[in-house]
Every structure is written in structure tokens, then in C-alpha cells.
Structure 1
Amino acid sequence: MSAAISTLYQLLENMQVNCRWFDAGHRISKLSQSQWQQFEGGQIGYPHPYLKQAYLGLAFWPEDDQRKQQVQLWCLRFPLDEQGKLDLASRDQFLKHLLIALSSNLEAAKKDEQLTAVLEGNPYVFKPSEEKQANLHAIVSQQLKQPHSAFMSTALEYFAKPEGDDWQQLGIQGLADLACRWQDYQNEICAAIANLPSPVLCSFCHCLEHHAINGRIADALVLRLENTIEDSDAKAEQIALMRGVSFCQDATRVEKALNLVLSSPVIMDVEMLVSLSSRCSEQLVSDKYALVFLEHLAAAGNDVFAAVVQELLFQAPLRETLLRFIRSPDRSETLSQAIGHLFSQPKPQTATEDKAAEQKH
């Protein structure tokens, strides 16, 4: 490795590019330059670990490209240590692999034809699901004040009159762009939510979960959830609606949806339990919900309980609070047995399970 370049931040400086960092785990969100520098320097843990790794979206463009017409997007993931901090050996291996591919010619890295080639075979590069990729592109475009894709116009036309089989012409990119610009199209979105076919609703909610929507849109989602909560055939819709409202600015709306779900049969669906643990983790470790949620997890089986709780315990801000409830004397026998299984027979997640979880969520 070049002695002059020992961090990814230094590499980008040498390439003379502007860049934006994004967390690309459960929820896509912007990371500040300071957060990245502190994380890469080993000063802080990763803010939002996902499957014990840091999933990143890196958007960058040449400093002389004022109109941002040459934006490149890399999707990277790095393993974390027990404290949730960057595994520096992995970062060094990534840099070494990258610098060899570049043949130390950093100027060449600015050319489109070079950028694709230098990442080929790099073990720290990942390909997001089509849904995650669409949302990442939509969010990056909005952050950089670029126009939305041409697909959004089709999505808007459909939302104005959501009926028939026309939804099959919709692309996920159009839905992602519309969700990203929810503030500008609140009337259209709120009017359509009650009538969207289930496949469109689910895809759109999976896009909305990346955005801090307001109470108005959340109310439309919660109303549809109320109307479908007793329908045993609408589990996919119920899970999607919960995900869609999970990042609402108003916590009371999130709690209303949580109360509906926790008191309905869908709470026993494993996908709902996993979705709640990853999208509503802060609410679920509160005094109001923690024991109830842990009991539901325990009822789902020891393996499900262990996988979900291990992931939650890996998040430093949640660990102490969650441990307090795990030690609670008010727990049931089923929960006690699940906790005993968790600590007596730890089962680390395999690479195959990691990949399956990534594709699903």
C-alpha cells in the first residue's frame, strides 16, 4: 500500500473529489464527514450497524464538476469489532486492493470507464437489492439537488387514479423518487394510500421508511393499517405499513401503529418481528414495550429470539437498557428459556444467513 495513503478519506482527497457518505443498512441516511472521519479513525462505533457490519453508500464527483454530472456511487461494507468500531485490517485490505487496481494512477479514477473496473472482485463491495439501490439513487439525487428520474411522472399519474392493472407498468425507481419528495406531493400521496393495490402499497412503504414523514402521511398509513389489521391474508401489507410509518417525525403516530401490531395476530409473523426490531428498536427497548416485545420474540422460537436479540445488543445505545429487561424478574418461563438458550449456546450468523437477510431487508 502506498505510504502516503493509509485511509479511505486520504484516498478521496488525493483523487480531488467531493463526496457524500450514506448509511445503507436498514435505513438510508446521510453520514456527516465528521462521523466518517471519527469512525474510520477508530474513535466511535458505527452509528447504525447492520448484521454486525457497516453498510455504506459513497457518492463522489470531481471538484471541477460544479453541476455534479459525473457523480459515482460505490456501495461498500466493512466488518465491525465487538465495540461496533471499524475493523481496520479490513479497511487496509480494501485500500490495498483498490490501489493495486488503480495502479496508483489516481487521475484515472475520475474517468467513468475506470471506476467500474477498479471495484471488480473487491470483497468489500456489495450490490444492493433493486429496491435499496433505487432508494439510494433517489436520496443521493435529492441531496445533490439533481432532477428526479423520468419514472416519477408515471408514478404520479398512477397515484392520481390508482385502479386497474396499470400498476404493473410502475418502476421501483419512480416510487423511490416520489417517496423521497413526499413533502412536495402530500395531497397526492395521502389521497392514494387508501386505494393503492397491495403490491404498490408495499413497495411504496418500503421507500417511505427511509424518510422522516410528517403526521399527515403517517395518519393515512395508520388508517389503512387499522382497516386491514384483522385480515389474516394481509400480513405483507401490515408489515409494509408498519415499516412505512416507522420513521415518522411524530412518535405518537409510530406508537399508535405499534399498539395495533402488538395486539394483533400479525405480531407472531417472524418477518414482522424482524422488521420491528430493525425499524423501531428505540421504541421497543422502552419501559412500555420491551418486555412485551421480548415475550413475543421468545414465543417465535429460540433461534429467532437469539438472532434478533444479538443484533439489538450489538447496538451500543440499546445494549444496557435491553439487558435490564432481559434480567427482569417479571419474565415468563418461555422468555427465561429463550434467554438461557441465547447465552448458553451462542449461534453466530453465517455468511449465507447474512446474505439472505440483506436481500430480504
Structure 2
Amino acid sequence: MNAICNLSQLLEQSQCQYKIFDLGRRIQSIDNKEFKQVERGEKPYPYPLQRYAHLAVTYWNHSQQPWIWFLKFPLDERGLLNQTDIGNFLKYVTEAMGAHLSQELSEEQQQHLANNPYTFKPNDDKMALFHSLIRAELSLPTSQYYEHAQHYFSGQLGWNNWQTVGLQGITDMVSRLDSEQNGVLIRKALPHLTATTTQPALYALLGALEHVSLPNKLAQRLFELAQQECQASQPDLFLISAYVRALSGAHSDYLQPLLESIFAQAELSHSEILIAIAGRCWAQLNTEARAGKFLLRLAQTNNQTLFNQLFADLVMIPELRFTFLPLLSHTPSPELANALYALQQQTKAR
């Protein structure tokens, strides 16, 4: 038996099929080959959040019932996993389960495995969607709330009766947008959910959509609603933030014009919207022009702490690192130059 040095080896040696997901930003899969390179320290973690890797490790055998670990590992200044942390977690696993993972755990074993510093619990909304996505991917049954949610979004129950709809039913629909006309039902329902009385249902739906890829017609409808809100005489900044997050899985043809509309209006530079862009739509900040506009609006919030946190977070993302770093020495405005100077001074003081 080969010595086990990383999670992939342990999973493969146990003859399990597995998938790795990032849960820090959007719920998105990480290719197994890429994850092996990350584990070996050959490349940085692709989706860092606040200098941590937030992982869901899902594995299953012939029974198709998946086991899931939610893991959180610190990253170094280069965005690399610490091999010692991986080794320590493997030690917890092998002490609790042995060298094979296909066995059922006793309550004592489960407790022993849970008592380690690398596990974390995602928030309830993200947990609900993740479980729906996994069950859809493995062709497992939906929750008991699925059919009721379909009836609601078809308009059969009355739009104001959103209190009867379970979140798990919404996430089941969102994780199956291409099945049973779910994408069409949601797209046609959206205009009915913008009223004040139905906004809780709208926010629940938008929160689920931010973690999946959107069909173009649904993305187009969300984009239109977001643009309408941006152009309103008194725009709802929190609703715009929710639309931005929901569109993070849309084609850039929809997302980029929305971001340009936001950057063009100083009154939309609310911290909630800028946090949404940084947390969910970071891939759209991959040009110096858009990165500069984003940082300028962030500087104009006059919240230096938030500026420092978001800059430090974005510069850790491998695909953005060499877009954001040059801005430290070349900035388009005095406001942004001052914010970046304050950031550098604080960094030097540490």
C-alpha cells in the first residue's frame, strides 16, 4: 500500500469516485487533475476567499449515496495550500476511519472526525443548494419540497403565498434549470416577484441562482430587471446587489454591461453592491480598465478598511493578480491613488 500524502490519493485508494467543489465564492467544481496540482503545491488555489480555501469534498462508491466533507484550509501569501495542514487532516481521517473510506461510520467515529480544526459549516442557503446540486448530478431523488415549488413558480398557488415554499424546493428547481421547464417557469415568474409583498421569494430565488450557470433567456430577463432598478429614481441598492450576484453565472454579454452601468453611476457605488461584485463576479474584473473603475468606486465609499480587505482578497485570485498589482503604481485618479497609498502604508506597518 502506497503512503497516503494527499486527499486525492486517499479517495482513489479507497476506490471512490469523487468531486471537489469550491464553496468560498460561488459553488463551483474544481477539476480533479487541477486539484491534485493544488494539493501538491504546484499551483495556487483557484478561488481563495480571505486567504482560505473553502472546500466540499464529495465522494461515493457503488451505493451512489455521497459522503461530504466541508473543509477550510489556510493559504500562504502565494495562495498555496500548506502541506502540513493536509497531512494533519489526513491523520484525523485515518484515525477515525482507517485507510479506506467506503465504510459506514459509527457515531463515535463521526464525532472523532468532526472534531478537527479543518471542518466548517456553510450557511444554510449554500448548504441547501449544494445538496440539490449533488443530488441532481448523481441522479438522486429531489426533496419533498420540489413539486410544491414548481406549482408556486407556475403561478398556481398565488404569488403572495410564498411562505409555503420550502428553500430546498427552490434550490432543487435551480439545480435543474434544464429539466421539466424549470428555467422557463422561473423566467416567467420573475416579473411577478418584484412587488414588495413577494420580494422574500425573489431574494430566495436570486440567492440560489448565484451559484449556477444561467440559460441565456433567463439571464436576459434578470439583466433587464437589474437595469430597470439601476435606472429607477430611487434604486433599491440591496436588490441590485442580489441581481448582480444572481447574474454571476451568466454569459459576460449580460454581466459586463450591468457592471458598466453600475460603475457609471456614483450613487450605485454602495458597499453592498461592490462586495457582491468582488465576491461573485470577480472574473469580470480581469481587465485593467474594469479593475480600475471598480477600485475607484470602492475608494469613493471612503471606507478604507473595506478597500483594504477587498483589494487583498482580489489580488490573491490567480487570474486577477497581475491585473490588480500594476494598479499600485499606476492609477487613473487622485482618490484611488490615496486609497492605494493608505493600503500600502498599512501593509508596511505590519
For residues 192-214 of structure 1, give each alpha carbon's deviation from its aligned partner in whole angstroms, at most 9, with x where no partner exists: 01111222112211211112212
Letter in 2 for 1:239: S
Q: 1:138 aligns with which of 132, 135, 150?
A: 132
My pick for the range that moved more, 210-219 or 338-347, is 338-347
In structure 2, the CA distance between the partners of 1:231 and 1:168, relative to structure 1 (3 Å rule), is farther
Contact 1:135–1:176 (CA<8 Å) still a contact in 2? yes
In structure 2, the CA distance between the partners of 1:329 and 1:227, relative to structure 1 (3 Å rule), is closer
Runs (4 or more) in structure 1 with deviation over 4 Å come to: none
Matches within 5 A, 1:1-361: 4-62=3-61, 64-65=62-63, 68=64, 70-102=65-97, 104=98, 106=100, 110-113=103-106, 116-161=110-155, 163-184=158-179, 185-196=182-193, 197-229=198-230, 230=232, 232=234, 234-249=236-251, 251-264=252-265, 267-300=268-301, 301-332=303-334, 334-346=335-347
CA distance in structure 2 between the aligned counterparts of 1:204 and 1:172, rounded to whole angstroms: 9
In the alignment, structure 2 segments of 5+ residues that lack a partner are: none
In structure 2, the partner of 1:358 is none
In structure 2, the CA distance between the partners of 1:21 and 1:323, relative to structure 1 (3 Å rule), is same
Contact 2:299–2:336 (CA<8 Å) still a contact in 1? yes
CA distance in structure 2 between the aligned counterparts of 1:78 and 1:347, rounded to whole angstroms: 26
1:120 Cα deviation after fit:
2.0
Letter in 2 for 1:74: W
CA distance in structure 1 between the aligned counterparts of 2:130 and 2:110, rounded to whole angstroms: 18
For residues 233-272 of structure 1, give each alpha carbon's deviation from its aligned partner in whole angstroms, at most 9, with x where no partner exists: 62222111111112213x1211222133223466332121
For residues 302-329 of structure 1, give each alpha carbon's deviation from its aligned partner in whole angstroms, at most 9, with x where no partner exists: 1111000000111122111112233225
For residues 19-46 of structure 1, give each alpha carbon's deviation from its aligned partner in whole angstroms, at most 9, with x where no partner exists: 1111111111112221121111111111
1:231 Cα deviation after fit:
5.7
My pick for the range that moved more, 257-266 or 37-46, is 257-266
In structure 2, the CA distance between the partners of 1:127 and 1:348, relative to structure 1 (3 Å rule), is farther
CA distance in structure 2 between the aligned counterparts of 1:228 and 1:348, rounded to whole angstroms: 42
Task: Give the TM-score normalised by the residue count of structure 2.
Answer: 0.89
Letter in 1 for 2:82: D
For the residue of structure 2 that corresponds to 1:316, the secondary structure is: coil
State, as a whole percentage, how many aligned pairs show the same letter: 28
1:282 Cα deviation after fit:
2.6
Task: Give the TM-score normalised by the residue count of structure 1.
Answer: 0.87
Contact 2:59–2:67 (CA<8 Å) still a contact in 1? yes
Aligned residue pairs total 340
In structure 2, the CA distance between the partners of 1:231 and 1:134, relative to structure 1 (3 Å rule), is farther
Letter in 2 for 1:336: A
- Cα root mean square deviation, aligned: 2.4
In structure 2, the CA distance between the partners of 1:42 and 1:105, relative to structure 1 (3 Å rule), is closer
For the residue of structure 2 that corresponds to 1:222, the secondary structure is: helix
